[in-house]
Amino acid sequence: MSMTLYHGEPNGPSLAVLATLFAKEVRAELVRIDLGSGQRHTLPCAQEPRVAMSVEERDRCSWSRAKR
């Protein structure tokens, strides 16, 4: 089985996942995307439930509420 990790800048939630992959020696194809521009929502897998409930999406919702 192969894994592709779409990640943002290496900070915050993306850094936590990247660091865990490294620490556990898990192989994954790493693809950097611009999370700030919403590029994640244009990916073919974006509507899959596991992707829709990703760390980035939960953080964006929390950030939006805090910003109000």
Q: CA 51, CA 47: separation in Å to the nearest integer?
A: 7
Q: CA 11, CA 33: separation in Å to the nearest integer?
A: 13
Per-residue pLDDT 10s for the chain (68 aa) are 788 888 888 778 888 889 999 999 999 999 998 888 888 788 888 888 877 776 554 444 433 344 44
All structural domains of the chain with their residue ranges: 4-67
Length of the chain: 68
Q: CA 68, CA 63: separation in Å to the nearest integer?
A: 9
- Using a cut of 0.85, tell me whether the model's pTM lies above it: no
Q: CA 54, CA 40: separation in Å to the nearest integer?
A: 10
